[in-house]
Amino acid sequence: PTARQIDVKAEFPRENIRKLFEQGFTSMGFPKDFGGLELPWPIYVAAMEMCGKACASTALSLAIHGTCCEGVRQFSNPGQKKEYLPQMISGKKFAGFSLTEPGAGSDARNLQTTARLEGGQWLVNGTKMFTTNGGYCDLYFLFAKTPKGPSAFLVDAKLAKSSKHIEKLGYRGSVTAEVVFENAHAPKESLVGTEGEGFEYAKKMLYGGRVTVGAISTGIARAAFDKAVRYSKDRTAFGKPLSDFEMIQSKLADMLTDINASRLMVYRAAHLKDRGKPFESEAAQAKLFASEKCLRVCDEAIQIHGGYGYADEFDVHRHWRDARLNTVGEGTSEIMRLLVSKNIIKGP
């Protein structure tokens, strides 16, 4: 019920996130040894879809935090896991994902942010762009270039010199920030995993992130679809409800088909991940299909609403504005097609 207010005021959904942490939202797929519920990953993905339907800004903020938790689970050393994972999955420490830079988006190898050892500490310098949860988080899962190549770090958010909120078309409650590090001294233990392996870590973290973006896309599409169905039944034209017109019925049928197909693709990718099987291509397919179909469903929902779809009163345009990011964030549609095609050509 707060989703509209969060969007209009560009208000970080702190209370929503707090309540979801209390209910164990992020802990679902993590081991009980670290305070997790150890549930199958598809259950987390299904919950993410429901969250996306209710409030996309809340869903995205939690999804990015979840991606950071997954990075700690997969790549950090036992000491880091023990220190950070229980606090992260319980919500005591909220994380931001800091990979993209002004000159390095899809080209993640071209990092300009640097980290070098000096006096037993990492000296971090550089600017990060489009950092989700930036300025509102407790720590950053940061990627920077070291003498051995791109590397991953867990960095206290207080070490950042500044963070600047970026105004966006959609997902207005999910904070996206430019984050600047200037001679920031991070402990030597901040390094995650092996120095020089950061690019591989980022890729693998994004595989799971793409599945959650697909789930959020499916949820957004469902929210727009439900509004379109309701409006088509309530609105009359030429003496009968819009839903009596075959052209409207055709639109609704296509919209629901797209939603259900998206959900199945997302769940398949989630199932493969849960079984420990390769899912890179399936994650890219799910993200590509669900995000593009979501945008189409939201566009059709506006069309069914007619002029009211463009008006603020019915709030249907919010779903389109949120959906527009999903073909760009966590890897553009073009990059997804490249990943899928490479997998096809490489073969089994």
Q: Is 149 helix (H, G, I), strand (E, B) or coil?
A: strand
The DSSP annotation for 285-337 comes to HHHHHHHHHHHHHHHHHHHHHTHHHHSSTT-THHHHHHHHHTTTTTS-HHHHH
Q: Are strands 114-118 and 121-132 parallel, antiparallel or unpaired?
A: antiparallel
pLDDT in tens, 145-188: 999 999 999 999 999 998 899 999 999 999 999 999 999 999 99
Rounded distance between C-alpha atoms, residue 261 and residue 228, angstroms: 19
Q: Are strands 236-237 and 149-156 parallel, antiparallel or unpaired?
A: unpaired
**CATH number for the 3-94 domain, one of 1.20.58.1180, 1.10.540.10, 1.20.120.450, 3.50.50.60?**
1.10.540.10
Within the chain, all domains assigned CATH 1.10.540.10 are found at: 3-94
pLDDT at residue 190 in the model: 97
Q: Are 139 and 156 in contact (CB under 8 A)?
A: yes
| Mean of pLDDT values over 243-254 | 98
Within the chain, all domains assigned CATH 2.40.110.10 are found at: 96-196
pLDDT in tens, 84-129: 999 999 999 999 999 999 987 767 778 999 999 998 999 999 999 9
CATH of segment(s) 96-196:
2.40.110.10
Rounded distance between C-alpha atoms, residue 28 and residue 45, angstroms: 10
Better-predicted residue by pLDDT, 214 or 1: 214
pLDDT in tens, 41-61: 999 999 999 999 999 999 999
pLDDT in tens, 204-248: 999 999 999 999 999 999 999 999 999 999 999 999 999 999 999
Phi-psi region of 330 (alpha: psi -120 to 50; beta: other; left: phi over 0): left
Within the chain, all domains assigned CATH 1.20.140.10 are found at: 199-346
Three-class DSSP labels, 178-216: EEEEEEEEEEHHHEECCCCCHHHHHHHHHHHHHHHHHHH
Superfamily name with CATH number, domain 199-346: Butyryl-CoA Dehydrogenase, subunit A, domain 3 (1.20.140.10)
Just list the catalytic residues. Answer: 330
pTM for this entry: 0.96
How far does CA 259 lie from the centroid of its chain? 18
Instruction: Print burial letters for 182-196: b (CB count within 10 Å at least 16), e (below 16).
Output: eebebeeebbbbebe
